[in-house]
Every structure is written in C-alpha cells, then in structure tokens.
Structure 1
Amino acid sequence: MNKSTMYRIYKSEKTVSFRKTTEKWGGLSNMAKGYPLLINNIPIQSSEILYQACRYPEHPDIQKLIITNSNPFEAKKIARKYDALTRAGWEENRVSIMKWCVRVKLCQNWKPFFELLNATNEANIVEHSDKDIFWGARKESDNSFYGINVLGRILMETRELARKKGQDGFLIIPPLKIDRFDILGDPISIIRADKPDNSPIIPLF
C-alpha cells in the first residue's frame, strides 16, 4: 500500500471535520454552495459538479446533464446513473482530478475559501463519512476518525500551499495533462482567477 492510500487515525481534539454543508466547516465540502466556478466560460455551481462532469469527457450530453443541475447531490446521482460510461483511467486519475477541482475552487473563490481554510489553523481536516472512508473518515468509538481521508488530505495540502504562495500562486490553474480532459466537447483551458476575456458566458440553464 502506498502512502496516498494508507489508512490514518485522526484524534478528534486535533481535527476539524465537516459532514453537512450548513455546519461551521461545511464550506470545505465539495457540495457547498457559494463557491461558483467558470470553466471555459461555462458556469458550474460547485466543485463536486465539476468533478462529476470530469468522469465523462467523451459524453458531452452527460456532462451537460450534470453541470446544468444546480444541486450537487442530484448532479452526483445523475453521474452515477452512467457509471458504465466513465472515462478510461478514472481510478488512476480521480485523485489528481479532485485535487485540480479543489485548486480551481480556491483560485476562483480566493477570499472566502482561503479564509475558511486558514481558519482551521494547524488542525487535521477530515470529511466525516461513515460510508466512504476513501475520500473521508468514519467516527470511531474512541472519539477519533479512521480512514484514508483523501479529500481532507488534499484540503490540508492546499491550505499549506496557499499560505506559502498566497493568492499570486493561485491566479491560474493549468489543465491536467491527461487524455481527453474536456468539457462539453472542448479541451479545458487554463483556469484564471478572473474572467480572462470578453467572451460571453455560455448559458446552459
């Protein structure tokens, strides 16, 4: 087992956890509203919706169903319906894609998202999930969390990078160098903190 897939234990007193988007640390969740994204001038409601759309670069029709849904929970359900059409190499690339989505969220929502990340101080960040201990970690009887906690670890890594580099380090986010990294039939362009040109926002709703 490599380090990126090792299970870990996080003591509750040293941990910031999130489960519901309405809770204090809910904005750390990919499901959280209030962190809109603009990808190729296409408005996308949340990083979860962007992540799910990235499963289907060869199926723009499915991507459109996902990204035109303003509810990330419903968008995820739609994505799951088409599991059999998930892109080749998804398992190998999904962590890199998730990391990219979180960085895009920070790039385009610097002030609110960095303030939230920074407010966690040096605490461990854990997505509390009793079902999915790959992305998150479950609560144990000894008042600790146990899981791989990949999303929490991405958030902690992003927090440290943001403190080190500041906003200037997140003004642009390049696309991932993987095959068919597309949205609605076009390659995903460099993501910028502000709108890069005068191109109209593409209305999809």
Structure 2
Amino acid sequence: MRFCLQMKLQQNLKQFSEILLSTKNMPIVEYTDTDKIWGAVDCGSYYEGVNALGRLLMELREKLNENETNIIDKPSIDNFFLLEYDLQIMSNYINYKNVVNKLDM
C-alpha cells in the first residue's frame, strides 16, 4: 500500500499534495464501520483500530514536508512487474516543495 500511495502522489501531485499538506500535523484517520486494520471504528469517545491507511498517509505527508518523496522503492516482491516491466527503484526528479510552493502563489 505504501508503494501505491507513493505512485498516487506522483500521478496526482497537485491535488494529492494539497490535500495531504492541508491536514497540517493533524492525525489522519481512515473512518470505517467495520475494518479495524486499514481504518478505525468510531467507539463514541475514541476510535479503535490499527488505522494502517491513516498511518501511511501521515508518513507520506511527513516525507512530502521533508522533500523526501522523490524516490519510490519497489516492494521487496520477486517478479514485481508493471506492464511487463520489472520495477527497479523509480525516481522522480521533481522538487516537491518547490512545486507545492508554486501552487500557493
């Protein structure tokens, strides 16, 4: 999922980075009624669950803030292909902070 979110950021840089950065330093919670692994269930005064998706989004936001999102490591899965191409370390030479700063102008 980490790989998928990194790819999603690359493909939707403007909108996705704006949304992530707009959360500032607030917790990101994937609200769900049933899935306590990827999200968290509302139990009234608290949420219960691992919130794996929320944690991955917060990790991505932190990397975006630190300008560390320019390299995407493929998962350590043998024979991991995309459209018949073996995925090695993929680089994106875009300076994310500069791009995001330009969006604010």
**Shorter-normalised TM-score: what interval?**
0.7 to 0.9
Give 3-state SS (helix, strand or coil) of 2:28's partner.
Answer: strand
Work out the percentage of aligned pairs sharing the same amino acid.
39
Give 3-state SS (helix, strand or coil) of 1:170's partner.
Answer: coil
Match of 2:69 among 170, 173, 183: 170
Higher Cα Rg: structure 1 or 2?
Answer: 1
Q: Which residue in the other structure is 1:92 paired with?
A: none
Q: Which residue in the other structure is 1:155 paired with?
A: 57
Alpha-carbon distance in structure 2 between the residues aligned to 1:130 and 1:121: 26
Residue correspondence of structure 1 range 101-112 to structure 2 within 5 A: 101-112=4-15
Match of 1:188 among 71, 81, 87: 87
Give 3-state SS (helix, strand or coil) of 2:10's partner.
Answer: helix
Pair 1:131 & 2:30 matched:
no
Q: Which residue in the other structure is 1:117 paired with?
A: 20
Q: CA deviation at 1:189?
A: 4.9
What's the CA shift string for 1:68-127, capped at 9, x where partnerless?
Answer: xxxxxxxxxxxxxxxxxxxxxxxxxxxxxx011111111222221111001111111011
User: Which structure's relative contact order is higher, taking Cα pairs within 8 Å and 6+ residues apart?
Assistant: 1
Segments of 5+ residues of structure 1 without an aligned counterpart are 1-97, 195-205
Residue correspondence of structure 1 range 9-158 to structure 2 within 5 A: 98-142=1-45, 144-158=46-60
What's the CA shift string for 1:113-148, capped at 9, x where partnerless?
Answer: 111001111111011111111000001122x21100
Segments of 5+ residues of structure 2 without an aligned counterpart are 94-105
Letter of the 1:140 partner, please give it. Answer: C
What's the CA shift string for 1:42-76, capped at 9, x where partnerless?
Answer: xxxxxxxxxxxxxxxxxxxxxxxxxxxxxxxxxxx
Alpha-carbon distance in structure 1 between the residues aligned to 2:40 and 2:11: 27
Alpha-carbon distance in structure 2 between the residues aligned to 1:130 and 1:137: 8
Residues 125 and 156 in structure 1, CA contact (< 8 A), matched pair in contact too? yes
Give 3-state SS (helix, strand or coil) of 1:156's partner.
Answer: helix
